[in-house]
Amino acid sequence: MGENALAWEPAYARRAARMSGSEIRELLKLLDQPDIISFAGGIPDPALFPRAEAGNAYQTIMADPVRANGALQYSTSEGYLPLRQWISAFMTRMGATCDPDNIVITSGSQQALDFLARLLLSPGDTALVDWPTYLGALQAFNAYEPRYDRIEFGKTNRTPESYAEAAAEATEGGRVKFAYVVPDFANPTGRTLSEAERLSLLDLAGELDIPVIEDGAYAALRYDGTPVPPVIALDAARTGHVDGARTIYCGTFSKTLTPGLRVGWICAARPIVKRLVLIKQASDLNSPLLNQVVMHQLAESVFDRQVAASITCYRERRDRMRAALQRHMPEGVTWTNPEGGIFLWLTLPGSCDGAALLKAAIAKERIAFVPGRAFFADGTGANTIRLSFSLASPEKIDTGMARLAELIRNYS
């Protein structure tokens, strides 16, 4: 013991070497500086939150002694039944026919990703992900020490066997254990997988006999184009029910109602859900029941209205950002054209480093965004950045894109 600080490093598990901070989360702190125009955090505009309705819901429940005492007590790990009923009806409407027993409530879909990695990954096993993919998914998965391989969509020379062989041949190699995708308006690229790409993903998963983890965080926020059925719907259609599907769907109310109550869900075949309920029990016993009851009331009363308002708001901002990029960006900069969600993805000239650009952006232009490299499991993508258009007003989007273009001109 003694006077000196303890040497903690040797105490840690091996997996701790793969736990690192998120540039996104660090950047959230910048939001407190009012002169920064932030395109960094992938967070909804709080002006859209159903504040009055949430306040009324809390008041109604807390004014009823029986309901209040129930809501303040421990509750079941699988989650509040009426909320699971609402979600199973919602999933069924999206084409993924299921029952409340196919749903487990999680603390946002981030917890869903943690639980699924815990259930599926032994150290050295392979997770198939996109290059780039959601940074928070990589952070959640990393704790379980996977190897990553890149899912190739569309025309590819890779056979299913090539994934399995690469997984087995890797140092400390294991098996391919799942494919993870954000098929609609992906974080970070805004890209949407076509129905053909989804079906070929299911074929690949079938050949490898692995589950598909579908992250539907942004699926409700489509601004134009033709909706594509969720992967889990295409999958469940083959047998008529989610119980026959290999797809595991992660949903959340964070982008449609409010992220603050931390309510998400997993929809999957019953055997998987039973396992996940055990994981929930061992992890944090249950999500706060009061928040689930309030979320159920909000889902019942204002879900469609909130989604419509979000679409109107974010569509305008996306259009404004696209127009501003078109107007201001120098040659050599390209960007994606998302049909929904809250992200645009910029590829800068090869010599331009997104992380260096961010430092200059904050210091000189008082704008923020997320450098793209952290979204790549292989550490490439230095010349990419992610822009979120959900939080800044249209006017600030104009100003911000002009400043960003000026920066890129100077740094590339």
Residues 213-272 that bind a second copy (CB under 8 A): 235, 238-239, 243-244, 246, 254, 258-262, 269, 271-272
Sign of the alpha-carbon dihedral angle for 299, 301, 302, 308: positive
Among positions 38, 88, 126, 139, the unique one binding a second copy when judged by CB under 8 A: 139
**Tokens read off for 207:** 């050949």
Closest separation between CB of residue 141 and a second copy, Å? 9
Site membership for a second copy, residue 8 (CB under 8 A): yes
Q: How far is the CB of 38 from a second copy (least distance, A)?
A: 13
Smallest distance from a second copy to CB 259, Å: 5
Bridging pattern class, strands 247-252 and 103-106: unpaired
Supply the minimum distance, in Å, between the C-beta of residue 198 and a second copy: 14
Question: Which window, 92-100, 136-144, 179-187, 366-374, contacts a second copy (CB under 8 A)?
Answer: 136-144
CB 313 within 8 A of CB 48: yes
The Cα 355–Cα 115 span in angstroms is: 31
Of 43 and 309, the one with the shorter C-beta distance to a second copy is 43
User: Among 85, 89, 118, 316, which residue sits at the site for a second copy (rule: CB under 8 A)?
Assistant: 118
- 39, 90, 144, 180: which one binds a second copy (CB under 8 A): 144
Here the tokens at position 282 are: 């061992």
Residues with Cβ within 8 Å of residue 281, at least 6 apart in sequence:
77
Q: Please, which residue, 127 or 407, has the CB nearer to a second copy?
A: 127
Q: Quote the CA–CA distance of 292 and 83 in Å, as a whole number.
A: 7
Phi, psi (degrees; rounded to nearest 5) at 11 = -75, -20
d(CA 35, CA 31): 9
Minimal distance, residue 224 CB to a second copy, in Å: 27
Residue 200 binds to a second copy (criterion: CB under 8 A): no
At which residue do the structure tokens 């901070």 appear?
A: 21
Does position 156 bind a second copy by CB under 8 A? no
Task: Tell me the closest approach of the beta carbon of residue 58 to a second copy, in angstroms.
Answer: 4
Q: Which is nearer to a second copy, 148 or 335 (CB)?
A: 148
CA 30 – CA 27 distance, rounded (Å)? 5
Comparison of 5 and 363: residue with beta carbon closer to a second copy: 5
Number of residues that bind a second copy (CB under 8 A): 99
DSSP character string of 187-203: TTT-----HHHHHHHHH
* Kind and range of the H or E run holding 352: none
Q: Do strands 126-129 and 176-181 pair parallel, antiparallel, or not at all (unpaired)?
A: parallel
Bridge partners (DSSP) listed for residue 178: 127
Cβ-count burial 137-160 (b if 16+ within 10 Å, e if not): bbbbbbbbbbbbbbbbbeeeeeeb
The answer to whether 51 contacts a second copy (rule: CB under 8 A) is yes
| Least distance (Å) between residue 236 CB and a second copy | 11
Structure tokens given for 133? 């993919």
Residues 263-322 that bind a second copy (CB under 8 A): 269, 271-272, 275, 278-279, 281-291
Smallest separation, CB 229 to a second copy (Å): 16
Q: Indicate left, alpha or beta for 209 from its phi (over 0: left) and psi (-120 to 50: alpha).
A: left
Does residue 169 belong to the site contacting a second copy (CB under 8 A)? no
Part in contact with a second copy (CB under 8 A); list of ranges 69-77, 301-309, 346-354, 393-401: 69-77
CA distance 309 to 324: 23
Query: Residue 103 forms beta bridges with which residues?
Result: 267
Nearer to a second copy, 12 or 364 (CB): 12
Q: C-beta of 75: minimal distance to a second copy in Å?
A: 7
Q: Which is nearer to a second copy, 97 or 291 (CB)?
A: 291
Q: Are 256 and 306 in contact (CB under 8 A)?
A: yes
**107 belongs to the binding site for a second copy (CB under 8 A):** yes
Task: Indicate the residue among 192 and 254 with the shorter CB distance to a second copy.
Answer: 254
Residue closer to a second copy, measured from CB, 55 or 227: 55
* Residue with smaller CB distance to a second copy, 29 or 155: 29
Among 36, 40, 98, 120, binds a second copy (CB under 8 A): 120
Beta bridge partners, 197, equal none
